[in-house]
Amino acid sequence: MKILFVTNNYKPYSGGVVSSIDAFCNELRSQGHVVKIVTLDFTGSPENDQNIIKIVCPFRFFYKHNPIAIPLFMQLQLRKIIKLYKPDIVHTHHPFLLGVAAQNVCLQQGIPLIFTYHSQYGLYATHYAPFFKKIVRFCVEKKVKKFCEKVTAIIAPSQSIAHYLKKQKIKTPCYTLASGLLPCFFHKKREQKKSKKVFNLLTVGRFVTEKNIPFLLDVMKHLDERFVLTLIGFGAYYQELQKYAYQICKLSTAQVQFIEKPAQTLIAQWYKKADLFVFASTSETQGLVCVESMAAGTPVIAVKGPGVKECVKNDSNGYLVKTRKQMVQKIKEVANNASLHEKLCKGAWKTAKEYSIKKSTQKLIAVYEEIV
């Protein structure tokens, strides 16, 4: 098949959406399908990858260290791209901007449009709206619902999101399909964790409000110096989080270290090195980083929320908690019980095998074929 992925968010950005797109595209191509990625031109530099098509964006600037690109005539540009490549399927990953332009063109030309519901859009909007948060959330959710009702099919990354869409009375066909893991994160053989004086905690994610990272720094205040937390990511709140950790929480650089935007291969090594993965976001649709951690045999202690609760199972591959106190208790419990830790490590690695990108891509192809 000829498949066109449309996304507002792609490299130089990173994160769950980008990882999902890369994993699926690479596997689809390996199985003989032709896949092009249409995204915004964030840098203005020539694109060397023939599989990436950049929408012309005459206005580019940085906001809080993040590149922003503003396109013109998106629909016209997309119409030309679709006319040139003649895709069997257009798969969009956002309900705004390029997603809307793709929807309009696909409706005009009778091309099936798939939409992956990657984020809790209304909830995210409340994190960034300076005021009238409830009104903003209502408007965003209404707009997203309208978008969902005009696509051919929706892919929900978890049962939680599928259930949410059903509650919204969206009648568009919905398929539950979790994103698969990039090969660099998947370890075919699990290495047993070696006991040592330092117990390494790890979190990976964007340094933004909705990831709830101060929660983890508050937890560190109640753990002794045996515990070390490494935070890997990037984002607008990088400096603010450092200030919160070192100046407000009074944590030392030996207890807490920040690593900004390392290569994926290095992140994979950090997953292996960690003894526990800790996660505080309650706005995830899947919690892909939790599964990436499990693929290295590293169990997870996470705040209970949609998406995450479907991959983290109590006393099997980690624990779900609701409060800081509960997370502190569980971290100590696992750290002080070697047999429990080993049991959770085995369970984590076993869980990750269900997120093979080959399995996920086969399911995605089945959806495409059914729709076409």
Beta strands in 77-224 (DSSP E): 89-92, 113-116, 153-156, 174-176, 199-204
pLDDT at 219: 98
Fold: same for 2-180+356-371 and 183-355: yes
Tens-digit pLDDT profile for residues 187-237: 777 778 877 889 999 999 999 888 999 999 999 999 999 999 999 998 889
The conformational region for residue 212 under phi > 0 = left, psi -120 to 50 = alpha, else beta, is left
**CATH number assigned to the domain with residue range 2-180+356-371, chosen from the 4 options 3.30.2010.10, 3.40.50.720, 1.10.10.10, 3.40.50.2000:** 3.40.50.2000
pLDDT at 364: 97
pLDDT at 79: 97
Q: Which CATH superfamily is domain 183-355 in?
A: Glycogen Phosphorylase B; (3.40.50.2000)
pLDDT at 67: 85
pLDDT at 74: 95
> Would you kindly state where each structural domain of the chain is located, as residue ranges?
2-180+356-371, 183-355
Residues of the chain with pLDDT under 70: 124, 127-128
- Residues 372, 30, 7, 131: is their CA dihedral positive or negative? positive
Tens-digit pLDDT profile for residues 93-116: 999 999 999 999 999 999 999 999
The closest of 131, 188, 139 to 353, measured between CA atoms, is: 188
pTM: 0.89
pLDDT at 183: 86
